[in-house]
């Protein structure tokens, strides 16, 4: 079962609270990374581990690639020609090898943002493993010592 990351109050709070403290999170190869990681408390780390999938979704929502696609959608811009197999049918970006058809994770997030719908944690399965790592997301992939 996948829950809505935007409706996870703990995940939403930790991302906002860290941003207020000047700590920026990013997602790489299924791991969360943080700037100023040395300022994270044990409680911060425990919360990030517990809610890792929801936090990853929230971080990816704020990524420039999601924002660019949302802006393109809102401006009515899209592909003029059908995408080739293995490419996102909305932006044309190459899809993860295991997904021959469909929409990339960035476009899926942008579409859900535009629609105002829930954003289930399993949206992570649409992303390339270079970003979200092998599925499913596990709490072990928390590499907060690496600056983002
Ligand atoms: Zn796309």
Please name the residue that has the structure tokens 């700037």.
Answer: 35
Distance 131 CA to ligand 1 centre (A): 14
pLDDT at 130 over 90: no
Distance 39 CA to ligand 1 centre (A): 35
82-125 pLDDT, tens digit each: 678 899 988 989 998 888 888 999 999 999 999 998 999 989 98
22-69 pLDDT, tens digit each: 999 999 888 899 988 899 999 999 999 999 999 999 999 999 999 999
Please name the residue that has the structure tokens 């072990």.
Answer: 140
Distance 109 CA to ligand 1 centre (A): 9
Distance 126 CA to ligand 1 centre (A): 10
- pLDDT (0 to 100) of residue 146: 44
72 CB-contact burial (10 Å; exposed 0-12 / middle 13-18 / buried 19+): middle
Distance 7 CA to ligand 1 centre (A): 24
Distance 9 CA to ligand 1 centre (A): 28
61 CB-contact burial (10 Å; exposed 0-12 / middle 13-18 / buried 19+): buried
86-97 pLDDT, tens digit each: 999 889 899 988
Distance 139 CA to ligand 1 centre (A): 27
Q: What are phi and psi of 71, to 5 degrees?
A: -60, -40
Distance 74 CA to ligand 1 centre (A): 14
Distance 89 CA to ligand 1 centre (A): 7
Confidence grade of residue 138 (pLDDT, cut at 50, 70, 90): low
Q: Measure Cα distances from 79 to 55, 74, 87, 97 in Å.
A: 30, 14, 11, 21
Q: What are phi and psi of 47, to 5 degrees?
A: -65, -45
- pLDDT (0 to 100) of residue 67: 95
- Cβ neighbours for 96, distance < 8 A, ≥ 6 positions apart: 126, 127, 128, 129
Distance 148 CA to ligand 1 centre (A): 24
Q: What are phi and psi of 34, to 5 degrees?
A: -135, 140
Distance 87 CA to ligand 1 centre (A): 8
Total-model pTM: 0.86
Confidence grade of residue 5 (pLDDT, cut at 50, 70, 90): very high
Mapped onto helix, strand or coil, the DSSP state of residue 23 is coil
Sequence spans of domains, the chain: 5-132
């Amino acid at each position: 079962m996948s829950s809505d990351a935007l409706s996870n109050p703990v995940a939403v709070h930790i991302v906002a609270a860290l941003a207020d403290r000047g700590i920026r999170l990013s997602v790489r190869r299924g791991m969360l990374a943080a700037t100023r990681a040395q300022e994270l408390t044990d409680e911060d780390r425990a919360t990030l581990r517990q809610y890792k999938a929801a936090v990853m979704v929230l971080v990816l929502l704020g990524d420039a690639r999601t924002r660019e696609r949302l802006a393109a959608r809102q401006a009515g811009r899209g592909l003029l020609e059908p995408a080739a197999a293995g490419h996102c049918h909305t932006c044309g970006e190459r899809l993860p090898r295991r997904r021959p058809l469909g929409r990339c994770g960035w476009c899926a997030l942008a579409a859900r943002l535009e629609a105002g719908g829930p954003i289930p944690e399993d949206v992570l399965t649409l992303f390339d493993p270079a970003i979200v790592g092998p599925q499913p997301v596990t709490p072990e992939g928390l590499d907060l010592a690496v600056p983002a």
